[in-house]
Amino acid sequence: TVLSNDLLRAIARKEFFPVYQPLVDSSTQKIVGAEALVRWKHPTRGVLPPAMFMELAQTLGVLADIDQAMFEEAVKKRKTWERMLQNPPRISVNISAERLKSPSFLSTVQAAGVQPNTIIFEISEAVTFEELDDVSKYNLDALEGLGVEVEIDDFGSGRASILSLLEMKPRRLKIDRNLTAPVVESEQARSLVASILDIAHTLSIEVVAEGVETSQHAEILREQGCSLLQGYYFSRPIEETAFEELLQSEQARS
């Protein structure tokens, strides 16, 4: 198809770019992180979200290349923010199973020279530990030594969550927004979130709540023990200049 041909050329043409969504500390509500989410600036169709091209990218075998490009951009951006800001946020990038198992993965991460605690990989729970091959498991283990933290994304949406926590020992998990959305109305949803926090804290894993859309969500999830919050209540994913203005105005106030 036309879109396939466009997608195959898009990497070399540098048509992918990140938008950033803030992660805030639940007690101070200050920005401590930024999730980079890919967008495709298509030459004629405008800016396309991942839903429009990720599956095709996977089929065409270029998903790992997109992830790689986003990682390199994140490393560069973090260095810019270090020069620009007193408290630069960490940047998290999403990583596909394809990239995690790629033979060149570790050497590209190593070559990027990442300072500890600055860049995070988010691995969707949909890519459960059981599905990972030996290369991927080896790569995950090696990341810690390279200063890159790992988080499980969309926690509670997939399979074998608890076992994957034990085996992966991620630094953080992000509770899927389908679990956090109902906490305002539903006692049962709050109990579920409390159980996840219990398990996570037993394993010294920090918990991020996704999908925080209202002040009530923020308050309940903070009170329950989520140390980081992310969602439309704080900001939608926005372009880098807008994000940098947000950071600068926040840090100017403090």
Q: Which residues bind ligand G (CB under 6 A)?
A: 21, 37-38, 49-51, 54, 66-67, 70, 94-96, 153-154, 177, 210-213, 231-232, 237
**Residue number, nearest CB to Mn ion:** 153
Residue 125 near Na ion by CB under 5 A = no
Residue 151 near Mn ion by CB under 5 A = no
* Binds Mn ion by CB under 5 A, chosen from 6, 125, 151, 154: 154
Residue 153 near Na ion by CB under 5 A = yes
Distance CA 105, CA 136 (A): 9
* Binds Na ion by CB under 5 A, chosen from 94, 161, 164, 180: 94
240's contact among Na ion, Mn ion, ligand G, none, with CB below 5 to 8 A by partner kind, is: none
To the nearest whole angstrom, how small is the minimum distance from the Cβ of residue 53 to ligand G?
10
Nearer Cβ to Mn ion (73/154): 154
**Residue number, nearest CB to ligand G:** 231
Residue 67 near Na ion by CB under 5 A = no
Distance CA 93, CA 165 (A): 19
To the nearest whole angstrom, how small is the minimum distance from the Cβ of residue 151 to Na ion?
8
8's contact among Na ion, Mn ion, ligand G, none, with CB below 5 to 8 A by partner kind, is: none
* DSSP β-ladder status, 172-175 and 90-95: unpaired
Where on the chain is the footprint of Na ion (CB under 5 A)? 94, 122, 153
Where on the chain is the footprint of Mn ion (CB under 5 A)? 153-154
